[in-house]
Amino acid sequence: MIEGEVGSRLEEETNVGFSLTRRLNQIMFHLDSVHIILDEMIQNGHIVETNKNRILAPLTAINKMADG
């Protein structure tokens, strides 16, 4: 049950930046982003965060810094 929840949350979060037709390809080229999302969602094997804004906050900050 927990694995399904994690999988569906990960899919939801990756849908924000990845189109449905190219999702797998995009995930493979953006593993760093997937890693950040998982780090925000899971700690010590437990789901600790499910709020989309809180999960994506580090990615947003990194993207803002990269844009200058």
d(CA 21, CA 2): 26
Q: What is the pLDDT of residues 11-52, one digit of tens each?
A: 776 665 555 556 667 777 788 888 998 999 999 989 999 899
Given a cut of 90, whether residue 57 has pLDDT beyond it is yes
Given a cut of 90, whether residue 3 has pLDDT beyond it is no
**Most distant CA pair in the chain, distance:** 41
Give the range of the structural domain holding residue 11, as residue numbers without chain letter: 2-67
Q: Which two tokens stand for residue 10?
A: 């990960």
- Which of the pair, 68 or 42, is modelled with greater confidence? 42
How many domains are there within the chain? Answer: 1
Q: What share of the chain is helix, strand, coil (3-state, %, to 5)?
A: 75, 5, 20
Tell me, what's the pLDDT at 17? Answer: 54
Judged on CB neighbours under 10 Å (0-12, 13-18, 19+), 66 is exposed
Q: What is the pTM of this model?
A: 0.61
